[in-house]
Amino acid sequence: MSVLIDALSWVCLVAGGVFCVIGATGLIRMPDFFTRMHAAGVTDTLGAGLILVGLALQAGLTLVTVKLAMIGILILFTSPTATHALAKAGLARGLKPQLAEDRSQSSKP
């Protein structure tokens, strides 16, 4: 049973790391503020959650697991809230989302 828990823990840790790297890549590759924010917000929340689950599996049923669960709940609430606040601030400053029509018209001579 210990080998199964260790394997599941490592799967969660590696998958969480992969999602965090994908989110960081999305910050670099996406064309505008809103798509960058979406890429970072969604993947980093999932990546951090999977990492915390993997760490909780490694810790077993201890006080550390309770602390990791509290951190997970905090991330679950604060990350979408911060993303929403950034989007509203961007709209208030006059940033417009880049739409599909904008990209096709801007490439015409």
Query: Is 108 among the domain residues?
Result: no
Q: Which residues contact 58 (CB under 8 A, 6 or more apart)?
A: 6, 9
Full domain range(s) for residue 39 = 2-96
Q: Which residues contact 14 (CB under 8 A, 6 or more apart)?
A: none
pTM, to two decimals: 0.79
Query: Is 107 among the domain residues?
Result: no
Residues 63-96: tens digit of each pLDDT: 999 999 999 999 999 988 998 998 899 889 988 8
Query: Is 105 among the domain residues?
Result: no
Q: Is the dihedral of CA 104, 41, 84, 92 positive or negative?
A: negative
Query: Is 40 among the domain residues?
Result: yes
Domain count, the chain: 1
- Confirm if 37 and 50 have CB atoms less than 8 A apart: no
Residues 25-69: tens digit of each pLDDT: 988 888 888 888 888 888 888 999 999 999 999 998 999 999 999
- Cα–Cα distance between 3 and 46 in angstroms, integer? 25
Query: Is 42 among the domain residues?
Result: yes
Query: Is 102 among the domain residues?
Result: no
